[in-house]
Structure 1
């Protein structure tokens, strides 16, 4: 992987994390950095899972010269939604409610 691949992963991971927060109902009390990290992890995990289970489609799209598969993106967003949900639950669990004092 070269520098451009890493930059693409960061940008794509950010988009996937934001999409996951939009898809997930309710308000999540996590910041932008965990959202981006979850999105980046989901991009890697989704790519691995799609390759592992041979989940590919003929529906492709191209962004700045790179081609992406809609099926793989769907798996990535699904993993990101689960990751954001887990992070939101953990954030709520470990955050103290100061209004109840």
Structure 2
């Protein structure tokens, strides 16, 4: 992978992660780096799913692929956000 591929993956990951985060109601307390990783993973998996169904390469904007990516990012952000909230709400007991 060349440097322009890495930079474009980061930019696309940020956009997809932010759109996935905006698609969810309420506030998600996850750091930006985690949103970036979720966005990159959602973009890669969404592109793979879209190519399996044959909708990855169309004329113009690939709306179905974009919708898949945003839905996957929203699911990932929701899952990570709930998991991180669950870790914070656990009571802390002193070790014996």
TM-score range, shorter chain: 0.7 to 0.9
Say whether the 8 Å CA contact 1:38–1:84 is kept in structure 2: yes
Instruction: Give every structure 1 segment of 4 or more consecutive aligned residues whose post-TM-superposition deviation is greater than 4 Å.
Output: 56-59
TM superposition shift of 1:2: 2.0
Say whether the 8 Å CA contact 2:13–2:41 is kept in structure 1: yes
Say whether the 8 Å CA contact 2:47–2:56 is kept in structure 1: no
Runs of 5+ consecutive residues of structure 1 not aligned to the other structure: 62-68
Structure with the bigger percentage of strand:
1
- Give the counterpart of 1:83 among 52, 66, 76: 76
For the residues of structure 2 that align with 1:54 and 1:5, how far apart are their CA atoms?
23
Query: 1:32-87 deviations in whole A, cap 9, x for unaligned?
Result: 111010001001010001011223474624xxxxxxx2221111111000000001
TM-score of the superposed pair, with normalisation by structure 1: 0.80
Structure 2 residue matching 1:60: 3-state secondary structure: coil
TM-score of the superposed pair, with normalisation by structure 2: 0.84
- Give the counterpart of 1:95 among 68, 73, 88: 88
Runs of 5+ consecutive residues of structure 2 not aligned to the other structure: 92-96
Say whether the 8 Å CA contact 1:16–1:43 is kept in structure 2: yes
For the residues of structure 2 that align with 1:58 and 1:36, how far apart are their CA atoms?
26
Provide the aligned C-alpha RMSD in A: 1.9
For the residues of structure 1 that align with 2:57 and 2:2, how far apart are their CA atoms?
26
Structure 2 counterpart of 1:39: 39
- Give the counterpart of 1:70 among 57, 63, 66: 63
